[in-house]
Structure 1
């Protein structure tokens, strides 16, 4: 059951809402414009607020839905977290789009929302605060993501290992942004 749900979560995660919405709206491919990242921030830059909001909701949903299904199936918290991580992996390396995906922040937030909703609050607050001061989405994401870990470790310790792995993957996917930040070349809003 766990493997089947993990495979289905990966396949769901492989749906790139940024790419699909761009195609449906006749807009540019986010992999070929702006930052080249098929995610919410790039969609905001190249397609506007409406498509960015829809991308965000889709990416959140594909992280949340597999976790909720795993909960409904009676799986434990750690299994739910691994299934959520499979959805994030699909977002990062989508089967349907030549394994060129986004950075996983919104999908990870959806996963976390399913695992332990209160842990999302400090992360969202930190993202908003860092973004308000820096106008840099990548820095906000990198600052906000680890803030959910202590609360999650306290309330859902079984999910900590998959979440630590997830954080490492998110940092890895932002390595280009980190280089640009340190070089003073990161894009701001």
Structure 2
């Protein structure tokens, strides 16, 4: 059951809502314009609030649903975290899109929401505050990670290994943003 859920989570994570919504509405592929990221922020810049919101909700669901299924099947918390990890890995490295995916923030948020809602709410609060102060989505995303991980370590120590690896992957996915932030040229919303 665990292996099947991990595989299903990876495949669901590999579905890019940004690309599907762009195609459905006859819009340009978000990987070819803007930041090149198939995520909600780039969709907002390229196609407006409506498609950005649908992208965000789809990406959240990709993280939430597999973990909720793992919990429903009674899998231990650490296994639930690994299932969520697989969903985010699918978003980062989607098999359906030549392993060129998004940054994984919304999918990770969905995973956190299913694993431990207080951590998701804390991450959202930090994201909103950082975004309000800087108007920079990538900085807000990177600010929420270090705050959320200690809370998970304290409340859900069995989820630490998958969450630690996931944090490293998310920082790696934002490596271009980190360079732009350091240079002071990161785009604001």
C-alpha separation between the residues in 2 aligned to 1:158 and 1:71? 14
Q: CA deviation at 1:165?
A: 0.7
Q: CA deviation at 1:171?
A: 0.2
Moved more, 149-158 or 43-52: 149-158
- Residue 169 of structure 1 aligns to a residue whose secondary structure is helix
Asked if residue 75 in structure 1 is aligned to residue 71 in structure 2, the reply is no
Asked if residue 112 in structure 1 is aligned to residue 102 in structure 2, the reply is no
Residue aligning to 1:58: 58
C-alpha separation between the residues in 2 aligned to 1:26 and 1:56? 19
Residue aligning to 2:9: 9
C-alpha separation between the residues in 2 aligned to 1:67 and 1:122? 19
Where in structure 1 are there 5+ consecutive unaligned residues?
none
Residue aligning to 1:161: 161
Residue aligning to 2:174: 174
Q: CA deviation at 1:146?
A: 2.0
What TM-score does the superposition give when structure 1 sets the normalisation length? 0.98
RMSD of the TM alignment (CA)? 0.7
Alignment length, in residue pairs?
A: 189
Residue aligning to 1:133: 133
Where in structure 2 are there 5+ consecutive unaligned residues?
none
